[in-house]
Structure 1
Amino acid sequence: MFSNTQRFKLNNIDDDGKKPNFLSILGVPGFFCLDVWRASMGELIGSAVLVFMLDTIVISTLESDTKMPNLIMSILIAIVITILLLAVVPVSGGHINPIISFSAALVGIISMSRAIIYIMAQCVGAILGALALRAVVSSSIEDTFSLGGCTITIIASGPNGPVIVGLEMAQALWLEIFCTFVFLFASIWMAYDHRQAKALGLVTVLSIVGLVLGLLVFISTTITAKRGYGGAGMNPARCLGPALVRGGHLWDGHWIFWVGPTIGCVAFYVYTKIIPAEHFNAEYGYKHDFVGVVKALFGSNV
């Protein structure tokens, strides 16, 4: 999440003053950089712990007798995410979410190769976290709460037999898009802008990230109030882990948890290109910016 041109110098274009070749523009050398793969271990372990903790929180709060389990769940999620980010930031930059990695690659903070490696590590970590959770919960808990995974609908008992309850796919998709954009705009933006990150401090920024995510979980589960809808995922890897381990109805509408965030990331990137340069990256100049890379590929100086 936090990065500067020196930190990712190994992947930057033209860092040595040399004319970049086709492979370096695409960030291909990053796939052969041992340090990038070593850093991805932080993403893998962080994602595994994240999935285990978040899904445990989802199950335990829904299982409790509290009147507003979604409020308690949101608060606990905010705390856990903040702690995990503080643990992973020194290792890999603290993404533990494909949304952040993909968005950072589009904006130009990291290379696309680093983003791809991180996302793969996050997905593997999410699977391991889901497997760890499955190993410690009973089969009845696993069935009742779908291993804490991301759901659009569930099969519930009705007066005339089993019925499918939940949210319409269009509504769920829009929630993913909106929540992803708000997440990036309201919190990750502070980490991307080095001036704000430096002024606010690491702990403050990461606390805001956790708080915003917790609020979005609370909002998405409250405004819909639909049984069967688990709230906005805002982390495709976290949704993938339980879906692969548990299967079944967790695959119903699973594409939404990938397509929605992707659209939200692109929308946020468009926003960063619209605002005046002096309000964002004028001092640092992110060399991996997607449009900049495309221009470099085609030899454009525009």
Structure 2
Amino acid sequence: MTTTDIELPYSRSSNELRQRMTRTNRGPSVASRPFAGRIGGNQEFTLSPEDLSFPGIVSKVPDAAPTFTWQQSFSLQAFSDVELWKEATIEGVGTCLQIYLAGLYAIGLGSVTTATASGPVTPAAFGSIANFLLITLFIYAGGPVSGGHFNPLITMSTFFARLSILPRTILYIAFQCAGAVIAGFLVRAGLGAPPEDFHAVPGCYIDTSLVTPGQAYALETMSSLALVFIAFGVGLDPRQRKVFGPALSPILVGLALGLCSFATGIARPGYAGSSLNPARCLGLMAAAERFDYHYIHWVGDITAAVINGILYWAIPIYKD
């Protein structure tokens, strides 16, 4: 029997998720909840106030709507939403897998930093390419379920830009950090390596005898702000929806992260690149049993998230 593709709306929401149907078989609905802070979605997958299910869903998770108030964001009711805990679990598992792979090539590349005539340029270039591919693929994999953050920097930035509610932010960061620490010790167990082998991991290592806290803070803050600025512009701003859409955005976000990690990895002796993901450094530095300057990975990223939030407050996405 010849089948014909029929496009039907998932709901009367602004995104109108579409499914492939046949004349004889109406397939099951796709299980993907609306979420304003979905990386790569350009807020295409949010719920319209015209949707009949809008009041019930938004009362539990306000960030299913394109806009919501700070009062709604700080409501603790979302902690009782089982689906939100499931999404946070995906963030934890995805972060664990991502940092496990990133930890393996970071350890391998860190050991050859001085093995080539080009110094850190060659390992930084390979690391940037690997980061680009890794982040892009994981955003594609996790985006339909959790939004594809896998990074406290992204989660904090969506919170301050009022695209993620506080309960989601807390759960995501908690699960991301737990997954990162598990990944760090799995890498250490898999390699059978002592903690000392993790001391010079690129993106987390800072030589305290060469780099001051102020220099490290400036490097971390500005590179993180550059990453978040690009990620929001191509992956979250609905004004870019018709330009990039949900398909191309993850590639551009991954490319931005690769560029930021390469630029900071070769610029300063004693500085092996910006973290751009504090959970990554938390996991690998826990395995190293050494936390030199680790607080900067958090303070710098929080600063960048706040600045980005102020920008989107000053130049809001939607008209009043």
Do the aligned residues in 2 keep the contact of 1:56 with 1:148 (CA within 8 Å)?
no
Deviation at 1:202, TM superposition (A): 2.5
Cα RMSD of the aligned pairs, angstroms, is 2.5
Could you tell me which residue of structure 1 aligns to residue 156 of structure 2? Answer: 102
Match of 1:135 in 2: 189
| Residue number in structure 2 paired with 1:271 | 311
Confirm whether residue 11 of structure 1 aligns to residue 55 of structure 2: no
Query: TM-score if structure 2 supplies the norm length?
Result: 0.74
Whether 2:296 is the aligned partner of 1:281: answer no
Whether the aligned pair in 2 keeps the contact of 1:130 and 1:147 (CA below 8 Å) is no
Letter paired with 1:98 = P
Q: Alpha carbons of 1:139 and 1:94: their partners in 2 closer, same or farther (altered >3 Å)?
A: same
The residue type equivalent to 2:47 in the other structure is Q
CA positional deviation for 1:241: 1.0
Q: Does 1:196 align with 2:236?
A: no
Structure 1, gaps ≥5 residues long:
154-163, 286-302
1:210 aligns with 2:210: no
What secondary structure, in the 3-state scheme, does the structure 1 residue paired with 2:294 have? coil
- Cα distance change on mapping 1:204 and 1:13 into 2, 3 Å: closer
Structure 2 partner of 1:289: none
> Shift in Å at residue 13 of structure 1?
8.1
Q: Which moved more, 1:212-221 or 1:236-245?
A: 236-245
| Structure 2 contact 198–288 (Cα < 8 Å) conserved | no
1:181 paired residue number: 225
Q: Which has the higher contact order (CA 8 A, sep 6+)?
A: 1
Number of aligned residue pairs: 260
Contact 2:136 2:250 in 1 (8 A): yes
**Counterpart contact for 2:46–2:64, Cα < 8 Å:** no
Moved more, 168-177 or 57-66: 57-66
Counterpart-to-counterpart distance in 2, 1:96 and 1:13: 18
The structure with the largest helix share of the pair is 1
Match of 2:86 among 30, 38, 45: 38
Matching of residue 60 in structure 1 with residue 108 in structure 2: yes
Shift in Å at residue 271 of structure 1? 1.1
In 2, distance between residues paired with 1:136 and 1:79? 23
Q: Give the AA of the match of 2:303.
A: I
Matching of residue 242 in structure 1 with residue 266 in structure 2: no
- TM norm structure 1: 0.79
Unpaired segments ≥5 residues, structure 2: 1-38, 49-56
Task: Give the secondary-structure state (helix, strand or coil) at the position aligned to 2:267.
Answer: helix
Report SS of the residue matched to 1:109. Answer: coil
Cα 1:219–1:147 change in 2 (3 A) is: closer
Between the two proteins, what is the percent identity of the paired residues? 27
